[in-house]
Amino acid sequence: MQKNFILLILFLVLLQRSYANDGTTSKIVFYREYNYYGSAIAHKIYVNGVEIAKLKNNSYFEYPCTPGEYSI
């Protein structure tokens, strides 16, 4: 029982460190909801004039970036 408790505490500490943000990284999340109409078309996503992804129906994309201004 004590071994399981120690493993749980270790897991929670490691989980907290993995979600820690030092303020130098961010992410932009693009989400496309499900819709029957237009579902066969993948929408292109551009950031600062560069295509970064194609979103299919009912999908999402996470764009890692540094904090700042972006043109979407």
Whole-model pTM: value is 0.62
Residue 35 lies in a domain: yes
Residue 2 lies in a domain: no
Residue 67 is classified by DSSP as S
pLDDT of residue 67: 82
Domain count, the chain: 1
Give me 40's structure tokens: 């066969």
Q: For 8-53, how does the pLDDT look when each residue is reduced to its tens digit (9 = 90+)?
A: 665 665 555 555 556 688 888 999 888 888 888 999 999 999 999 9
Host domain of residue 70: 23-72
Strand locations in 1-72 (E): 26-32, 43-47, 50-55, 59-65
pLDDT of residue 25: 81
Q: Quick check: 66 pLDDT over 80? A: yes
Question: Which backbone phi and psi does 29 adopt, to 5 degrees?
Answer: -110, 125
* Residue 61 bridge partners (DSSP): 30
pLDDT of residue 33: 87
